[in-house]
């Protein structure tokens, strides 16, 4: 299974997790994933244009239901590695935008795979006081089962709650995968070169539809 297919599986499975939590004082990470998942899956199953990969609709879905629940800055910064701290605010903003487009287009192509999948949760190794948790799941449906794990963090202050900052599909962490690719581009062409490469890839994907 190639990395593109793995990423597609990851993004489809992003919204497909559920498990009980014994501590009801506040929303637990797995209960939060369940709520997000149900909302997103119901939206997809009730909208044929989403299932067909309609890009404007996919972008609207991602912006409204997924991105508010993702620490995308942390995800992008981790993928960029040490170069992130040296980047200007404008470069950081541009990198996040191009990275998001890349992931959204993959998500658009993956939505047609949403059908009869079910999610089975592995035991949650965490306590209610933990600020970072790994929620481990397995997705079963068509084909072989797919391991999917979420790294989530509890954010303080205004808008406090859980946020996703990395995903693992079949043993491959999303951020780690892109970190290697980004590092090669940065070493060869610098941060502007990485941004230009992602922008060109996004344009090429747009031409392909």
Residue 78 maps to which CATH number?
3.10.450.710
Give bridge partners of residue 139 from the DSSP assignment: 119, 146
In the predicted model, residues of the chain with pLDDT beneath 50 are 15-25
In the chain, how many domains are there?
1
Q: What pLDDT does residue 13 have?
A: 53
Q: What pLDDT does residue 39 have?
A: 78
Domain region containing 161: 3-208
**Distance separating alpha carbons of residues 114 and 141, to the nearest angstrom:** 10
Q: Does the CA dihedral 174-175-181-185 come out positive or negative?
A: positive
Q: Does the CA dihedral 52-53-56-61 come out positive or negative?
A: positive
Q: What pLDDT does residue 172 have?
A: 86
**β-sheet with 161-169: strand ranges across:** 118-121, 132-140, 146-155, 161-169, 172-173
Q: What pLDDT does residue 109 have?
A: 64
The token pair at 171 is: 């043993």
6 by DSSP, 3-state: which? helix
- Give per-residue pLDDT as tens, 16-39: 443 333 333 378 888 787 777 777
**Distance separating alpha carbons of residues 196 and 203, to the nearest angstrom:** 10
Q: Which residues of 65-96 are buried (b: 16+ CB within 10 A; e: fewer)?
A: ebeebbbbebbbbbbbeebbeebeeebbebbb
The answer, as to whether pTM is greater than 0.85, is no
Q: What pLDDT does residue 90 have?
A: 98
| Contacts (Cβ under 8 Å, ≥6 apart) of 148 | 9, 10, 13, 16, 17, 119, 137, 138, 139, 167, 168, 169
The token pair at 159 is: 């808008």
- Give per-residue pLDDT as tens, 129-156: 889 999 887 777 777 887 878 899 998 7
């Amino acid at each position: 299974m190639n990395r593109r297919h793995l990423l597609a599986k990851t993004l489809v499975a992003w919204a497909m997790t559920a498990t009980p939590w014994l501590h009801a004082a506040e929303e637990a990470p797995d209960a939060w994933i369940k709520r997000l998942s149900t909302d997103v899956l119901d939206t997809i199953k009730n909208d044929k244009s989403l299932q067909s990969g309609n890009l404007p609709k996919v972008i609207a879905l991602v912006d409204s239901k997924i991105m508010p629940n993702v620490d995308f800055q942390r995800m992008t910064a981790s993928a960029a590695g040490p170069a992130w701290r040296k980047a200007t605010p404008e470069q950081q903003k541009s990198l996040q935008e191009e990275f998001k487009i890349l992931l959204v287009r993959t998500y658009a192509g993956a939505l047609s795979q949403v059908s009869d999948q079910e999610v089975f949760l592995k035991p949650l190794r965490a306590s209610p006081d933990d600020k970072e948790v790994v929620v481990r799941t397995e997705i079963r449906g068509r084909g072989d089962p797919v391991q999917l794990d979420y790294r989530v963090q509890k954010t303080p202050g205004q808008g406090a709650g859980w946020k996703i900052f990395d995903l693992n599909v079949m043993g491959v962490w999303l951020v780690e995968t892109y970190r290697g690719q980004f590092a090669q581009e940065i070493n060869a062409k610098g941060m502007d070169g990485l941004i230009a490469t992602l922008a060109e890839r996004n344009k090429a994907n747009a031409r392909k539809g």
